Structure 1
Amino acid sequence: MKNSSQMFEEFQKNVQELIAKSPAADIEKNVKAFMAQGFSRLDLVTREEFDIQVAMVDKLRERVDAMEAQIKEFENKA
């Protein structure tokens, strides 16, 4: 008689074989390909690219604020 661990491993193996042989694996592959194609049309950016742009905008905002302060100083002196 098999112990419960062996029975579970055998059951898991059988389920994996069934899934591999079933159309579910093909459906999953096709859905992933379809979604990837759809996303590529949306002109999306990666999270890394987005974070880089946010950092650049933050730096630009700091520069604009500094320049505005300088302009106010010049206006006050004039």
Structure 2
Amino acid sequence: MLHKVLIDAVSSQATRLLMSEKGLPAPDVEKHLKSLLQSALAKLDVVSRDEFETQQVVLQRTRERLEALEKRVTEMEQRAQPPSA
């Protein structure tokens, strides 16, 4: 819900900026929009692409280790069971 409110606020501010009677030159509009978007994105709970990719690698390694440990546990359990008669 917060994301929708934030997007609506950014959208309305951008519309006001673009429709202002001042007729800001393109570089000024771009500068204001960039500042507006950076401010809006700073309020969101997001991570950088680099951090996301780093965590993806860590998760993959963790998953591989977990699967290897599960396999070892299964093998140990099978060896610990007495042979059936």
TM-score class, shorter: 0.5 to 0.7
- Determine the C-alpha separation between the residues in 2 that align with 1:60 and 1:71: 16
The count of residues paired between Structure 1 and Structure 2 equals: 57
Residue 58 of structure 1 deviates from its aligned partner by: 0.4
Residue 35 of structure 2 corresponds to residue 33 of structure 1:
yes
Cross-structure match for 1:53:
55
Over the matched positions of the two proteins, sequence identity in percent amounts to 37
SS in structure 1 of the partner of residue 72 of structure 2: helix
CA-based RMSD = 1.1
Match among 64, 72, 75 for residue 74 of structure 2 = 72
Mean Cα deviation higher: 57-66 or 43-52? 43-52
- Determine the C-alpha separation between the residues in 2 that align with 1:56 and 1:48: 12
Alpha-carbon displacement from aligned partner over 1:40-67 (angstroms, at most 9, x marks no partner): 1112111111110000000000100000
Whichever of the two has the greater Rg, that structure is 1
- Determine the C-alpha separation between the residues in 2 that align with 1:32 and 1:50: 23
State TM-score, norm by structure 1.
Answer: 0.68
Alpha-carbon displacement from aligned partner over 1:5-38 (angstroms, at most 9, x marks no partner): xxxxxxxxxxxxxxxxx52221111110000001
Equivalent runs, 1:9-28 vs 2, <5 Å: 23-28=25-30
Structure holding more helix per residue: 1
SS in structure 2 of the partner of residue 64 of structure 1: helix
Mean Cα deviation higher: 59-68 or 38-47? 38-47
- Determine the C-alpha separation between the residues in 2 that align with 1:58 and 1:38: 32
Structure 2: gaps (5+ residues): 1-23, 81-85
State TM-score, norm by structure 2.
Answer: 0.62
